[in-house]
Amino acid sequence: MGALDKYIAGMPGYFRDNAEEEFPWHETGRAVWYALFVVENGRIERYGFTPSKSNKRGLIQALESVCDNESAKLIGVWCGQYVTHLFDLNIEKAISKLTAVLDGE
């Protein structure tokens, strides 16, 4: 990060890496949502998905279409009572976890 290090040193960890096992995949309420970012034609395209069943199906389809795109980034957002955590989610693991959730319901 270089010059930004002086601003973020000591900040609480709102970003969670490699934490797919801790993310609340089964959640269907307002506390969770997903943000998918993809660079297309030099622009950042943004897509938001709620945790409803139909949106999870749509998210799986979107992830399957971009899983080979190295510019794609999936962020799982969990809004707790006092803090929001941003999960930097692996796309292939997310497809697996979301599919398992839908198959189990």
- Phi and psi angles of residue 5, each rounded to the nearest 5 degrees, phi first: -55, -35
CB 58 within 8 A of CB 49: yes
Q: What is the CA radius of gyration of the chain?
A: 15
**Sequence spans of domains, the chain:** 13-104
Look up the pTM and report it.
0.81
21 DSSP assignment: T
Q: Give me the pLDDT at residue 3, please.
A: 62
Distance from CA of residue 71 to its chain's centroid? 14
Evaluate if residue 10 carries a pLDDT over 70. no
Cβ neighbours of 105 (radius 10 Å): 9
pLDDT, tens only, 86-97: 999 999 999 999
pLDDT, greater one: 19 or 97:
97
pLDDT digits (tens, 9 = 90+) for 49-93: 988 888 999 999 999 999 888 889 999 999 888 888 899 999 999
